[in-house]
Structure 1
Amino acid sequence: MGENVHTLPYGSWPSPIAAELAAAHDGHPEFVGFVGDEAWWTEPRPTEGGRRTLVRRHADGTEESVLPAPWNVRSRVIEYGGQPWAGTLVDGRPVVVFVHFADQRLYRYEEGGEPRPLTPVSPVGGGLRWVDPQLRVERGEVWCVLEEFTGDGPTDVRRVLAAVPLDGSAAEDRAAVRELAGERHRFVTGPRLSPDGRRAAWLAWDHPRMPWDGTELVLADVTDDGTLTAPRTVAGGPEEAVAQAEFDAGGALLYVSDRTGWWNLYRDGEPLCPREEEFGGPLWRIGHRWFAPLDSGLVAVVHGRGATALGILDPETGEVVDAAGPWTEFAPALAVHGERVVAVGASPRSAYEVVELDARTGRARVIGAEHDDVVDPAYYPEPQIRTFTGPAGREIHAHVYPPHHPGCTPPGAELPPYVVWAHGGPTSRAPLVLDLQIAYFTSRGIGVAEVNYGGSTGYGREYRERLREQWGVVDVEDCAAVALALAEEGTADPGRLAVRGGSAGGWTTAASLTMTDVYACGTIIYPILDLTGWATGETHDFESQYLESLVGPLAEVPGRYAQRSPAEHADRITAPFLLLQGLDDVICPPSQCERFLDRMEGRRVPHAYIAFEGEGHGFRRADTMIRALEAELSLYAQVFGLNPPGVPTLELTK
């Protein structure tokens, strides 16, 4: 190998991982389910306008994209959506209901036919939206969450459990939609029915709480005419977050609660496997599933501390046996049928795949979206799982991806540039999985450090609560501590450190550029920049009071909102930056970027702003992702003095 190794400066290594390749493999399968014996799931199509299609795996193992373009299986309830489809067999043939993104109507699909709408369009505000459907064929209904806008404002909205007729009689008639329970809470998840059909359970919460702060597990009786009566709270509360609830085959109520400081599994109130690890997570999308009860009484679980495994829990012994295989991360997506468990798993060497586990034998295999090495895996980054020490001695979890190329080595003692990645949420976590966007940089000689800063999930409630009223402080400090530690230990070049992130990570990036002098530049992607504007009507209902816990009550600490907002301190930014924004973003609207740029006027700080038509919160179209990645690399090239081959130069304004 020696004679084929080229000595080239960091950042100029030729890489086969082009932006087109990274974009084409963005996104992953989600929302697995069974229709009869067949596993079905949703899958992204970045090159088809970023739509989500429904994939069916036939008995012979072949996969079929069931719905052609432009059908887009994706809900907009709470803007982040959730479980967008459900299916079953009727007379031996699949019947599926799904939400179509463009109009948010619920549709019924049967093979050989065109999807038919089941719900009407409403001209009011954001209209009618649906999520987390449960088919009740015996009643001729689908039960789900209805989000109904009552006015033009983003918070003019109500959410109720509702039943939609499967015969299409509500397609033009809102009155034909049956509301199942009174409107008692601001937020609800879809109802889960007991095996005898006599009880229903769901989760509910209210402003200003987010679902990881506290939720209520509501249990109600189901009357003969199909209404939900006598609802009562059986678990949860303002400071106890129940993340999921299901009935087992015997009718016992299973749920995940963090009452001990860790999300653990309970059956009728009794802990099944008390451990200092997570069997649940943040409910960003309605219908996330971390566990699924099997007919045998065993329970499939996604669990772990930091990274997650797929296992089978025996409730009688409290033992968990994990599936063997290469996967180091499982998404909160599970479906069961008999003793078959379908999940979505990934590793640092493979993107997310659809995995089937046989609960009897413990054998796991890939059955869909199988990872395909589109380039030689020798170019994949090799992550290090690290724990750093932050201010006051606190632990900070991170994944460090050093520059990695099979045919290139740097000259002499040159230290590499590093980019700190701040994840979104912020109540979320960077998973340990193959990401071709990270590989895009590491294979060119630029290191990446993903920081699971204080406030991240996966490490217990106490770690999560570090960010309470400290957003813009703890996240910024933790990212800086990791960057400086990498520089001090000789891993990274202290003069060539950058920071980047999207959404809440965009906020952390912008705040880092205003509050610290650690970074030479930054990439700010669909960010929050002005806390006061965001807290007073600029965002959607779900997160409209998130800042009450992240920053503090606006009525009590208005000065803190101004003090921490990058838009208020544009005068402190001296480092070049790239700002990327979708023009259809209703979560972090473009107006935030525009106000921020107005305040940069005349500052003579090199920067670029690229706004993308037709993109919302989170880029989904291949052409957008290509332009964004190449622009980011060009920023680092110009600031760090790199020479990556074949990358268009980003024009920086001064």
Structure 2
Amino acid sequence: MGESVQTLSYGSWPSPVDAALAAAHDGRPDDVGLVGDEVWWTAPRPTEGGRRTLVRRYPDGTEEPVLPAPWNVRSRVLEYGGRPWAAHMTGAGPLVVFVNFADQRLYSYRPGGGEPRPLTPVSPVGGSLRWAEPEPRPERGEVWCVLEEFTGDGPSDVRRVPVAVPLDGSAADDRAAVRELTGERHRFVTGPRLSPDGRRAAWLAWDHPRMPWDGTELLVAEVGPDGTFLDARSVAGGPEESIAQVDWAPDGALLYASDRTGWWNLYRDGRALCAREEEFGGPLWKLGQRWFAPLDSGLIAVVHGRGATALGILDPETGEVVDAVGPWTEFAATLAVHGERVVAVGASPRSAFEVVELDTRTGRARVIGATHEDAVDPAYYPEPRSRTFTGPDGREIHAHIHPPHNPGCRAPEGELPPYVVWAHGGPTSRSPLVLDLEIAYFTSRGIGVAEVNYGGSTGFGREYRDRLREQWGVVDVEDCAAVALALAEEGAADRKRLAVRGGSAGGWTAAASLATTDVYACGTVIYPVLDLTGWATGGTHDFESQYLESLIGPHAEVPDRYPERSPVTHADRVTAPFLLLQGLDDVICPPVQCERFLARMAGRGVPHAYLAFEGEGHGFRRAATMVRALEAELSLYSQVFGLNVPNVPALELTR
């Protein structure tokens, strides 16, 4: 090697990981499927206006996009979306059905056969007709899916129902040609799964005020001669039992993931297949997520684990799971199977998410698509470790610690590094331990990152998840602070140079942390919840409109708790500098949340900046936005922590 190592203060280390590089690698492949012998998936294109394209991999290994720009394969059902495409092979090649983001219409498309053809009409009212989880039924000349239909202009003027859309295009201008499959009425439904003999359908449903991880019902109905669902009945689940996914075994048995024991485990016709204190399911943020997929052989492909997730094959006869061998330490909730092939999406601390195929005959797993390629020398990647900290009342707190790391630099003797605590969104979610160039952007410059899977996070059982019930803004704040202070106390971080950052629910935790603790010298608050009362009274979308009933408490019973917990109420307590980032098209955490908070901060003399982005919603997708946001965040830390950061535009802080 022979290269000299420079001694430079933390935060001033030169790094090849710039904001443009981090932005270009944001997002991951998702929604995998097998179409004949081909593997398809959706893929992000941050530099193409943030669209998602559909990628097709031929048996010889070549890949190509199925749809050119500006087609954007993405559903807005529940705002977070759902599986937006499906395809089947015909004599003339594949026929794909997909949702286009711009108009939310369902289209059919035969690659090489002209422009996509609309199957559904434009909505006459509200937020449009939206579709998710398309499942072609060519034998019936239909595609089955979930319809989300707005009946008025309010965010909760909406209904959802399983429907059949004609494949011949006869519903393109006629809503009446869309056939509703059931008279059952629930606020939320997933796409129906048809039994192998075609005689029964199964789907999940739930109602306000529950979220799907609180309690769902598994419904089964007979499929009548005309294709409608008859005599629907609930066979599992309930107000306190979450069914995360349902499917059918090849022999017609009903398979589902339930957390009735406190962990999402797999069941076959009500019998536990592999009773373990780990998760074989997860939070249903998007319709069509898959943690298991039955194989023709009777075996079941599973994404499972405690905290981290592995890809495995479960033998329902013995209850044994054999995991795929490979470098991946995390698998996403997307699976596809055909014959003895299993396709999944996996990542590790050294590789971003990529498409992985497992051959169940040989047990061999290999990367077949969206292959991770090192954009910089991997010596600049973080070297993280997962740790468990002790919080208030002795409770366990799970976190991933990414110390500063740069092969060409070290800090002066005795200097302690600044650290940023990352609070994930959700809050019913978690941070996976995978390569993230946004984290590398900071660690390679000498700024540590601590991702905290605070109480309420998924992956650690229902009891851990339920810690946040009526405690949002308390337990999450306490757990993040406990990790930050523990790092300082053990000499791994500089107590005076701690920051907190988060987006969405993590933005709430970051803002609440600035308002209620003195732990942090500054914070970055990204498309946050800041005003609970506004959010709970028509100020967000329908899916999460009653989420606070469990996170904070019933609004009718504890109305005072809502303003008492809200950062907007306690803006006068915020004394640390902060950066606020917001998408102007965000309907989940609308800009008015930030505007109210800033109005309360006006004239208080606290240095801050507000960057609002046209054309961005909840979660930034455009490369230019992500570059601006990352550089602004680094500039904030530079100014507050006294860092010498070269080549980063200065963020102008106002008082």
Q: TM-score range by the shorter chain?
A: over 0.9
Q: For the Cα contact (< 8 Å) 2:324–2:358, is it kept in 1?
A: yes
Alignment of 1:12-161 (within 5 A): 12-112=12-112, 113-161=114-162
Contact 1:158–1:183 under 8 Å retained in 2: no
The offset of 1:2, in angstroms, is 6.6
Q: CA deviation at 1:239?
A: 0.3
Give the deviation of 1:123 after TM superposition: 2.0
Equivalent residue number for residue 364 of structure 1: 365
For 2:379, the aligned partner's letter is A
The whole-number CA distance in structure 2 between the counterparts of 1:316 and 1:39 is 29
The residue that corresponds to 1:288 in the other structure is 289
Deviation track 1:97-125 (CA, whole Å, cap 9, x = no partner) reads 00000000000010112100000001200
| Aligned equivalents of 1:3, 1:310: Cα separation in 2 | 40
**Contact 1:24 1:46 survives alignment (8 Å):** yes
Tell me the alpha carbon deviations over residues 541-585 of structure 1, each in whole angstroms, 9 at most, x when there is no partner: 000000000000011111110111000000000000000000000
Amino acid at match of 1:460: G
Q: Aligned partners of 1:523, 1:464: CA distance in 2, in Å?
A: 25
Using the alignment, how far apart are the partners of 1:45 and 1:610 within structure 2?
Answer: 23
Question: Aligned partners of 2:215 and 2:184: how far apart in 1?
Answer: 19
2:331 is equivalent to residue 327 of structure 1: no
1:416 aligned partner: 417
Q: Which runs of 5+ in 1 are unaligned?
A: none
TM-aligned CA deviation for residue 92 of structure 1? 4.8
Does the aligned pair in 2 maintain the 1:159–1:183 contact within 8 Å? no
Amino acid at match of 1:270: R
1:366-405 to structure 2, matched below 5 A, reads: 366-405=367-406
The one-letter code sitting in structure 2 at the alignment partner of 1:174 is R
Match of 2:274 in 1: 273
Q: 1:499·1:521 contact (CA, 8 Å) conserved in 2?
A: yes
Aligned to 2:300: 299
Give me the whole-angstrom Cα distance separating, in 2, the residues matched to 1:382 and 1:236: 41
Worse-superposed segment, 178-187 or 508-517: 178-187
- Residue 316 of structure 1 aligns with which residue? 317
Is the CA contact 2:330–2:348 (under 8 Å) kept in the aligned structure 1? yes
* Cα deviation code 1:146-190 (max 9, x no counterpart): 000000000000000100000000000001000000141000000
User: What is the CA-CA distance between 1:140 and the residue it aligns to?
Assistant: 0.2
CA distance in 2, matches of 1:124, 1:217: 31
Tell me, in whole angstroms, the C-alpha distance in 1 between the residues paired with 2:92 and 2:473.
55
What's the CA shift string for 1:23-57, capped at 9, x where partnerless? 00000000001111111000000000000000000
CA deviation digits over 1:252-299, x for unaligned, max 9?
A: 000000000000000000000000000000000000000000000000
1:496-515 residue CA offsets vs partner (Å, 9 max, x unmatched): 00000000000000000000
Alignment-mate amino acid for residue 30 of structure 2: E
2:79 maps to amino acid: E
Shift of 1:3: 5.5
**Residues in 2 aligned to 1:185 and 1:349: alpha-carbon distance in whole angstroms:** 43
| CA apart distance, 1:516 | 0.1
Name the structure 1 match of 2:245.
Answer: 244
The AA in structure 1 aligned to 2:512 is A
Q: Which residue of structure 2 aligns with residue 212 of structure 1?
A: 213
Match of 2:174 in 1: 173
Which SS does the other structure have where 1:266 is aligned?
strand
1:361-390 CA deviation, whole Å, 9 max, x = no partner? 110000000000000000000011100000
- Are 1:625 and 2:626 counterparts? yes
1:334-359 CA-partner distances (Å, limit 9, x unpaired): 00000000000000000000000001
Q: Distance in 1 between matches of 2:642 and 2:124?
A: 53
- Distance in 2 (CA, whole Å) between partners of 1:319 and 1:103 is 46
Whole-angstrom CA distance in 1 between matches of 2:6 and 2:573: 41
Q: CA RMSD in A?
A: 0.6
Task: State the alpha-carbon separation in 1 of the partners of residues 183 and 154 from structure 2.
Answer: 23
Aligned to 1:437: 438
Question: In the aligned structure 2, how far is the partner of 1:93 from the partner of 1:110?
Answer: 7
Paired AA for residue 63 in structure 1: E
Contact map agreement 2:184 2:232 (CA 8 A) in 1: no
SS at match of 2:560: helix
> Residues of 1 paired with 2:172 and 2:36: CA distance?
27
Amino acid in structure 2 at the alignment position of 1:56: R
Which residue number in structure 2 is paired with residue 587 of structure 1?
588
**Percentage of matched positions with identical amino acids:** 82
Over 3 Å off, 4+ runs:
none
SS in 2 for 1:501: strand
C-alpha separation in 2, matches of 1:506 and 1:157: 27
Partner of 1:528: 529
1:105·1:119 contact (CA, 8 Å) conserved in 2?
A: yes
User: Which residue pairs with 2:227 in the alignment?
Assistant: 226
Cα distance 1:617–1:56, how it changes in 2: closer, same or farther (>3 A)?
same
- Distance in 2 (CA, whole Å) between partners of 1:309 and 1:582 is 34
What is the deviation of 1:22? 0.2
Alpha-carbon distance between aligned partners in 1 of 2:407 and 2:59, rounded to the nearest angstrom: 41
Whichever residue aligns with residue 196 of structure 2, its letter is P
What residue is the counterpart of 1:640 in the other structure? Answer: 641
